[in-house]
Amino acid sequence: MKILKYLLFFLFLFTMGYVTYVKTQTTYFVGYMYWYHPTILQEKWELVVTATVTSTQEKKLKINELIHQERYDAVSKKELEIFDHDFLTISGGFNGLKKSDKILLCLTIYEGAYSIASFRGTQTNFGLKLKSFHDPIIGAIERFIKLKPGEKPSQKDIELWRKYTKNVSILSTN
């Protein structure tokens, strides 16, 4: 009987520990590259996510979905960790954004870490501001990522991109 009580007691402790376990929220700190001036459709993106602005003062975003990840540093061929963070904190680029704004972020690798490029010509300083996470532009970027070298986006996708940036004219399918 005494052994049964100990077993039940340990089972109770194990169950309580298991039930009360909470995943620790992790934050990835991302550099914002003011000096980087790409056209959003001229780059190969290593990490693409959708996120929600949680704080403009803390420059923090909550990750909604991981859309794409390349796991290597193209320069050093160093293998990067699997991206599984809950939040991003970005060093700059929050002008014009407010709490609860939805964003599509395209990150590149700089010095062995993911970094956010400054996008001139879009409606935010980094990434694209979305009305919802079901915006057709997400499908357009998924198709863009899958293009082989030398392939161009469809005219339909180019028209979708024109809603967000002035810099797609160079990608004309003509």
Domain residue ranges of the chain, discontinuous segments joined by +: 22-166
Per-residue pLDDT band for 170 (boundaries 50, 70, 90) equals very low
Q: Are 107 and 126 in contact (CB under 8 A)?
A: no
d(CA 151, CA 149): 6
Measure Cα distances from 173 to 148, 150, 170 in Å. Answer: 15, 11, 9
**Count of alpha carbons within 13 angstroms of residue 158, beta-carbon side:** 13
Q: Quick one: average pLDDT of 138-154? A: 87
Residue 45 has φ and ψ, to the nearest 5°, of: -90, 135
Per-residue pLDDT band for 174 (boundaries 50, 70, 90) equals very low
* pTM, to two decimals: 0.74
Per-residue pLDDT band for 112 (boundaries 50, 70, 90) equals confident
| Structure tokens that stand for 38 in this block | 């790409």
CATH number of 22-166: 2.40.50
